[in-house]
Amino acid sequence: MSYRTKTGRFSAAGKHQIERTHIFAETFLTFAGESELCGQPYEISDWLAKNIWDPLFGTGSIDKRTHKFRRRFRRALIGVHRGFGKSQLAACLVLTIATMEPIPNGMYGIVADTKDNTAMVRNYIVTIIRANKSLAEQWTIYKDVIRNDLTGQEIHVYPYKEAALQGKHFHVLIGDEIHVWKDDSVWKAGTSGQAKIWNAITIGITTAGASRDGYLFKLYHKLKNDKHAFICWLGITDEDDPSNRKTWNKIIAAGRVTMEELEEQYESDKNEDGTPGKSFVRYYLNRTPMEDVEEPFMHRKDVERCKKNELAIDYSSWFAYALDGAVRGDTLALVAAQRQGDMWAFEEWCWEKPGPMGTYDLMQVAEVIQQLAAKPGKSFGGCDPARMQFLANWLDRECNIDLSEIPQTSSIMCPASELLGRNVETHKAAFSNTPVLAQHCMNAVAAESKAYGRRLASERNRHGQGTKRIDAAIAAAMAMYAYDNNEDESPSIYTIDL
């Protein structure tokens, strides 16, 4: 344990609250998600009870005015490692409080970091409700809300947007994956409406953040000095040596990961000198990086090795190409990709210096695409219309070139990024003729989507002139994904086949 707020002994009333919530959770709730536990009765482990569940539910006293138990903590921050089951815990906390402490027309919310994760967390709650007849009779599942029609209580799951929470007064609000929050706007939007709500609580559940200048790190230190706030942070401290297996026992004590599983993750992420990689320390030992350095998506040594691989695209066979960038600022990159056995061949066309008007010559782009379309082998070409709407429209209107849609959503870009990264790591990518692509692979850092994994990102999410660009790497990943997910017999489809 890295840190936990001291709570002292529980009162008799607090012990009663703990007992009744334990009985409810382990009788009516089930595990959800994709693990082998899905559908089995929910279990509050000894570690979870001691360090999270019991302090939240049992710390407090009987209110003299209402003669009801009032919890001491109005705000909480729970920091746990990847794979702990954060969304499961969020769903169980909301359902337990909503069912055991019904408030007429009460509002209960969970804020997820992305639209995809919003749907995932909602599905957790829906799965738990449908698995129990009593809960299913109480809670009706509508398209946009889960509602108790008898009491008027509503459970909502929101994406990370301040506007979505304005005007809402939550009995319970849980922020899932706070480490991706940019500032305190969503937290304040939630807590500001709770002043008059009986026993209201806001809970943040998260993994360690990417840097110590982010919002999560500031919130952690702020809540440490808040007498109405509870913190449980499971992870190693700054004084701990992450390469010392004894420190890993702090994580193992929670019971959601084994030493063998940690060893496996350590091996996959360790540095060249054998020390634990930054991703392992952050995601599994749950410590925010001590130095302000972002995690590279691909290692320089692997990219340099791929630059020695010589392989040309066979344009008489099926191939795919993708376009990324902008008409000004970013590199405008067009990359073609083709799998040949267990190797990948690439060819690049990159525009890095804009013309006198500050934009790139779109006629040059059109000429390259027309040349690719004229190749004897069938091809698939695409871009993200949301990012390149102007260029896509111009090519369609002026050149009769119709690029297919490859949306840069996490559900596509995370597996696409991993496809590129895995082939670079195993030296199956041939970069001998693509110097810009190789450099952009070295520039790319890792951004996280909880539902889908890692994706390529620019450092500090900066774009434009004077920054380390990654557009060719993005285009290559999109082309590889398009190649693997579209049949060469039908290259004229307009969307990626998911």
pLDDT digits 0-9 by tens, 83-130 = 899 999 999 999 999 999 999 999 999 998 777 888 888 999 999 999
At residue 12, the 3 state secondary structure works out as helix
Query: Which residues make beta-bridge pairs with 174?
Result: 110, 203
> What would the pLDDT profile of 398-441 be if each residue is shown by its tens digit?
777 778 889 999 899 999 999 999 999 999 999 999 999 999 99
| In a domain? residue 438 | yes
Q: Given strand 140-141, what is the order of strands in its sheet?
A: 3-4, 229-233, 75-79, 201-206, 170-176, 107-111, 154-158, 146-147, 140-141
> What would the pLDDT profile of 242-253 be if each residue is shown by its tens digit?
999 999 999 999
| In a domain? residue 258 | no
Please indicate, yes or no, whether residues 475 and 343 belong to a single structural domain of this protein.
yes
CA distances from 218 to 176, 178, 441 (A): 17, 11, 32
Using CA atoms, how far apart are residues 474 and 471, in angstroms rounded to an integer?
5
Please indicate, yes or no, whether residues 343 and 223 belong to a single structural domain of this protein.
no
| In a domain? residue 241 | no
At residue 309, the 3 state secondary structure works out as coil
Share of the chain above pLDDT 90, in %: 60
Place of tokens 């929101």: 158
From the list 350, 356, 351, the residue with the least C-alpha distance to 336 is: 350
Using CA atoms, how far apart are residues 425 and 421, in angstroms rounded to an integer?
6
> What would the pLDDT profile of 199-213 be if each residue is shown by its tens digit?
999 999 999 988 787
| In a domain? residue 375 | yes
At residue 32, the 3 state secondary structure works out as coil
Using CA atoms, how far apart are residues 470 and 309, in angstroms rounded to an integer?
21
Neighbours of 171 (CB within 10 A): 22
User: What is the average per-residue pLDDT within 131-153?
Assistant: 94
Q: What is the pLDDT of residue 450?
A: 66
Please indicate, yes or no, whether residues 328 and 457 belong to a single structural domain of this protein.
yes
Q: 10-19, 265-274, 319-328, 361-370: lowest mean pLDDT where?
A: 319-328
- What total number of domains does the chain contain? 2
Q: Is the pLDDT at 70 greater than 90, yes or no? A: yes
- Domain boundary among the residues 202, 233, 264 is at 233
User: How crowded is the C-beta side of 257, counted as CA atoms within 13 Å?
Assistant: 24
| In a domain? residue 458 | yes
| In a domain? residue 351 | yes
- Domain boundary among the residues 180, 202, 233 is at 233
Q: What is the pLDDT of residue 357?
A: 61
Place of tokens 């999109």: 478
* pLDDT band with cut points at 50, 70 and 90 for residue 467: low
Average per-residue pLDDT for the chain: 88
Neighbours of 386 (CB within 10 A): 11
Are 402 and 474 spatial neighbours (Cβ–Cβ below 8 Å)? no
Q: 69-78, 258-267, 320-329, 418-427: lowest mean pLDDT where?
A: 320-329
Please indicate, yes or no, whether residues 309 and 195 belong to a single structural domain of this protein.
no
Give the CATH number of the domain where residue 454 resides: 3.30.420.240
Residues across the chain: 498
Q: Is the pLDDT at 233 greater than 60, yes or no? A: yes
Go through 140-169 and write b for each residue having 16 or more CB atoms within 10 A of its CB, e for each that does not: eeeeeebbbeeeebbbbbbebeeebbeebb
Q: Is the pLDDT at 460 greater than 80, yes or no? A: no
Are 174 and 199 spatial neighbours (Cβ–Cβ below 8 Å)? no
Using CA atoms, how far apart are residues 460 and 231, in angstroms rounded to an integer?
28
Range of the domain at 449: 300-484
Using CA atoms, how far apart are residues 288 and 279, in angstroms rounded to an integer?
10
Q: Is the pLDDT at 387 greater than 80, yes or no? A: no
| In a domain? residue 281 | no
From the list 231, 292, 293, the residue with the least C-alpha distance to 80 is: 231
